[in-house]
Structure 1
Amino acid sequence: MDRLALILMIIGAVNYGLIGLFQFDLASALFGDQGSIISRALYTLIGAAGVYSISLLFKERKPVR
């Protein structure tokens, strides 16, 4: 689950980077405008991954040997 959340957050970060640098929304270009069901589902999954990843801040890590 942690890796899936990380992958979705990377996708979201790349998309936001493209929006910020070039005013190009990759998700909208691939799946239709922001109102389409697929784009909204993708944005929702990325948002949920971000919320889930908050828990990773408080997760105990095992020492690396």
Structure 2
Amino acid sequence: MDWLNKLAWLLVVIGALNWGLIGLFDLNVVTEIFGSAATLTKVIYSLVGLSGLWLLISKYKS
């Protein structure tokens, strides 16, 4: 499951950068690209959240 950890890290980094841009410049790249009410936007936010949870659980699991 090494590929899953790498994907999770990538999504968490993308999410962190997006939050940094929101905080610094009031720019939400995800909603700029996919729209604020798009289902795809909600899926992306969900995947970022699940990735963070996966990394947190996998850190303490082993």
**TM-score scaled by structure 2?**
0.87
Displaced runs of 4 or more, over 6 A: none
Instruction: Specify which structure has the higher proportion of helix.
Output: 2
Aligned length: 59
Structure 2 unaligned segments of length 5 or more: list them.
none
Q: Which has the higher contact order (CA 8 A, sep 6+)?
A: 2
Structure 1 unaligned segments of length 5 or more: list them.
61-65
Identity of counterpart residues, as a percentage? Answer: 34
Q: Max radius of gyration: which structure?
A: 1
In angstroms, what is the RMSD of aligned CA positions?
1.1
**TM-score scaled by structure 1?**
0.84
